[in-house]
């Protein structure tokens, strides 16, 4: 039994801002640090956490069968091949949406808390029933947004709802940050976002093509120990969650770094 289990909901309001990608990468990164971690796919309407983790073909049972007592929890948990500290629990199939109640979600999470030190819940987009079910079973939350006005607006709404449910702490992850666009003021700056959302910033994730490559392969970036920009960001977020004090990256510096690199490249070409 893990007495200090942390249950963390990963949510956004707006769809497609990177919840599932964060859940998968954080799950792997935490497991690598030796903490027993389970990721729970609460987005059964459109489940794809299993896909991102490359575990799709190994799912036999879901939380639905566990709740119906037609299988044991251990049978439904899918252990990750390379990172045995990580397990996935698929919540169920799309039909489940209709009968799943907050109580059910709470029961599942209670069971998981017996075994794991971290329970990460991948939340569906929106603020409807799926979201409410997931919220009812969590203590903490990570709100993820991109630096876009519409995503920030939805994140703000979600934070308000989390506040009324007594979720604490709520931390912020800013995804798909493009230093160049911030520098040219084409994108909201980090300050603009934190100014409105008024949450502690758990981390930034840079825009990175490797995220897409890794998604298609079913191997989260943090798995291979890749040194790509986003991979570093995800690892840092995991370490901060664990209480390590790691300074945030500064988009302005990243941009200078990039420019310096390009300049060096150009110079080597010329000379």
Ligand X SMILES: Nc1ncnc2c1ncn2[C@@H]1O[C@H](COP(=O)(O)OP(=O)(O)OP(=O)(O)O)[C@@H](O)[C@H]1O
The string of DSSP codes covering 186-252 is SS--HHHHHHHH---EEEEEE--HHHHHHHHHT--TTTTT--SHHHHHHHHHHHHHTT---PPP-HH
The HSE-up count of residue 81 (CA atoms within 13 Å, CB side) is 12
Q: Stretches 21-29, 56-64, 73-81, 150-158: which one binds other proteins (CB under 8 A)?
A: 150-158
Q: Is 189 in the site for other proteins (CB under 8 A)?
A: no
Q: How many CA atoms are closer than 13 Å to the CA of 57, on its beta-carbon side? A: 3
Contacting range for other proteins; rule: CB under 8 A; set: 76-84, 93-101, 147-155, 225-233: 147-155
Compute the distance between CA of residue 129 and CA of residue 163 in angstroms, rounded to an integer: 17
- Shortest CB 110 distance to Mg ion, Å: 24
Among 7, 12, 222, 226, binds ligand X (CB under 6 A): 12
**Residue positions counted in the chain:** 271
Nearer to other proteins, 149 or 262 (CB): 149
Which stretch, 14-22, 99-107, 188-196, 258-266, contacts ligand X (CB under 6 A)? 14-22
- Rounded-to-integer distance, Cα 253 and Cα 241, Å: 24
Q: Which of 8, 17, 109, 174 binds ligand X (CB under 6 A)?
A: 17
What is the C-alpha separation between 40 and 112, in angstroms, rounded?
9
Q: Is 236 in the site for ligand X (CB under 6 A)?
A: no
Residues in 124-143 at the binding interface with ligand X, rule: CB under 6 A? 125
Supply the minimum distance, in Å, between the C-beta of residue 86 and ligand X. 17
- Residue 184: exposed, middle, or buried by beta-carbon count in 10 A (0-12, 13-18, 19+)? exposed
Report if residue 185 touches other proteins, rule: CB under 8 A. no
Q: Interface residues with ligand X (CB under 6 A)?
A: 12, 15-21, 43, 46, 125, 175-176, 205, 207-208, 211-212, 215, 230
Q: Interface residues with other proteins (CB under 8 A)?
A: 149, 153-154, 156-157, 159-161, 163-164, 196, 198
């Amino acid at each position: 039994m893990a007495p200090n289990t942390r249950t963390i909901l990963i949510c956004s309001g707006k769809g497609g801002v990177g919840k599932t990608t964060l859940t998968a990468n954080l799950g792997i990164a935490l497991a690598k640090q030796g903490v027993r971690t389970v990721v729970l796919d609460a987005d059964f309407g459109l489940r794809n956490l299993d896909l991102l983790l490359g575990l799709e073909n190994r799912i036999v049972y879901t939380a639905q069968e566990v709740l119906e007592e037609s299988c044991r929890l251990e049978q439904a948990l899918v252990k990750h091949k390379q990172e045995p500290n990580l397990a996935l629990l698929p919540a169920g199939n799309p039909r489940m949406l209709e009968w799943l109640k907050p109580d059910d979600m709470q029961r599942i999470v209670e069971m998981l808390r017996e075994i794991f030190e971290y329970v990460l819940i991948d939340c569906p987009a929106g603020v409807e029933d799926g979201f409410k079910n997931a919220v009812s079973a969590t203590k903490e939350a990570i709100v993820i947004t991109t630096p876009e006005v519409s995503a920030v607006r939805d994140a703000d709404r979600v934070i308000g709802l989390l506040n009324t449910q007594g979720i604490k702490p709520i931390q912020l992850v800013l995804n798909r940050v493009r230093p160049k666009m911030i520098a040219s003021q084409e994108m909201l700056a980090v300050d603009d976002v934190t100014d409105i959302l008024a949450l502690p910033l758990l981390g930034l994730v840079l825009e990175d093509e490797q995220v897409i490559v890794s998604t298609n392969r079913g191997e989260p970036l943090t798995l291979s120990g890749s040194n790509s920009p986003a991979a570093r960001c995800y690892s840092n977020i995991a370490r901060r969650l664990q209480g390590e004090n790691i300074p945030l990256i500064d988009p302005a510096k990243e941009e200078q770094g990039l420019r310096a690199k390009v300049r060096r490249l150009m110079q080597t070409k010329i000379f």
